[in-house]
Amino acid sequence: MKHASIPLFIPHLACKNDCIFCNQKRIAGTVVPPSDPYGFFTSALKNIHKDFTKTDLAFFGGSFTGLEEKDMIFYLDAAARVKKENPSVTGIRLSTRPDYISEKILNTLAMYGVSTIELGAQSMNDDVLKRSNRNHSSADTEKAALMIKNHGFELVLQFMPGLPGDTDETILITAEKIARLKPDAVRIYPCVVIKDTALEDEYFAGNFTPLSTKHAVELCANMVLLFERHNINIIRIGLHSSDLMKNQSVVAGPFHPAFGELVFQRIFYLNALKLISLDPPKENTVLYVAPGNTSKMTGRKKENLILLQKTFKVSFSVKECPSLKKYDIKRGPR
């Protein structure tokens, strides 16, 4: 069943904070949210392809629950009406900050049929949060996550490896702490330096070095395997490639239009390396993978196969085998 999402961005509208990495106006691509959210969602629904049998209405950007109550209800009421009139709309989702969650807010969200709350946790290390000017603690995230789950909402945690003060260790501890909160899903956005942010100043002053793309891919590959072991769905890895990104909003850092693909390519490479190293081949070798995984095994521009060939001095090709699943790899002679 295919699932679509109609995002309505409320950039910075509801946020009194100034996180070091954030320029919501630029990321969301619009400064003024639609004044008629009901009309916005209704007309966007008409453009959803019939293959998508389920659609979520989503309030993203800014911090939705930081809106004045009357404004929040204005948006929620519009979404609730659209949902009631359209059976294909199965959920309402929104993103917010951990310290903008309270019992009262959750009761209001439940009343208007919100199904999913995405919390920007960003890090579970208090020093990293402080250096990023987040103005909330890891304890705030733990408390908010628990309240959201206790109210029966679906919980998505977003986090940003590679913030100022992060090390490989703090990043992996953050991922482990996030997994322990048992979210239904996560979004992993490696920290990139966006134009017109305080982080850009830090970067040009030489006070901040972002992760390289290679390093971020390696860390994310480990995190993907960690979340999968905990049965936590991974909705997204890396920022979306929007026109704004192409328009040079990204100053530095691990931004790649196919970042998620690079992560899965790395997982396949490491698995193949482990398998082949057990008994290095003396002749050209076929790597069998599950249907649909040829490009992940081959890698962009055949990177994985080239690396394996350099290491083992024989050539590799990839074929699909219907009896294999997910990351399985089997080897055989060509």
Q: Would you tell me which residues interact with ligand SF4 (CB under 6 A)?
A: 12, 15, 17-19, 22, 24, 62-63, 97, 120
Nearer Cβ to ligand SF4 (18/36)? 18
Smallest gap from residue 197 Cβ to ligand SF4 (A): 9
C-alpha 296/C-alpha 269 separation (Å) is: 8
Long-range contacts from 138-147, C-beta under 8 angstroms, 24+ separation: 138/177, 140/98, 140/99, 141/98, 141/181, 142/181, 143/98, 143/101, 144/98, 144/99, 144/101, 144/119, 145/98, 145/119, 145/121, 145/181, 145/183, 146/181, 147/101, 147/102, 147/103, 147/106
Nearer Cβ to ligand SF4 (62/164)? 62
Residues pairing with 288 in the sheet: 319, 330
Spatial CB neighbours of 289, under 8 Å, sequence gap ≥ 6: 268, 296, 297, 318, 319, 320, 321, 324, 328, 329
Residues pairing with 4 in the sheet: 55
Contact between residue 190 and residue 215 where contact means Cβ atoms under 8 Å apart = no
User: CA 219, 163, 217 angle in degrees (round to 5)?
Assistant: 20
Smallest gap from residue 54 Cβ to ligand SF4 (A): 27
Contact between residue 229 and residue 178 where contact means Cβ atoms under 8 Å apart = no
Smallest gap from residue 242 Cβ to ligand SF4 (A): 16
Smallest gap from residue 181 Cβ to ligand SF4 (A): 19
Nearer Cβ to ligand SF4 (97/266)? 97
Nearer Cβ to ligand SF4 (56/118)? 118
Structure tokens at 112: 């208007």
Smallest gap from residue 203 Cβ to ligand SF4 (A): 17
Instruction: Name the strands in the sheet holding 2-9, side by side, starting at the edge strand that comes first in the sequence.
Output: 2-9, 52-60, 89-96, 116-122, 154-159, 185-188, 233-237
Nearer Cβ to ligand SF4 (63/141)? 63
Nearer Cβ to ligand SF4 (193/297)? 193
Smallest gap from residue 110 Cβ to ligand SF4 (A): 23
User: CA 209, 210, 211 angle in degrees (round to 5)?
Assistant: 120
Smallest gap from residue 274 Cβ to ligand SF4 (A): 38
Residues pairing with 236 in the sheet: 187
Residues pairing with 118 in the sheet: 95, 156
Which residue type is seen at 333?
P
Contact between residue 151 and residue 110 where contact means Cβ atoms under 8 Å apart = yes
What letter does residue 188 receive in the DSSP assignment? E
Nearer Cβ to ligand SF4 (63/265)? 63
Smallest gap from residue 133 Cβ to ligand SF4 (A): 8
Smallest gap from residue 196 Cβ to ligand SF4 (A): 13
Nearer Cβ to ligand SF4 (134/256)? 134
Nearer Cβ to ligand SF4 (161/299)? 161
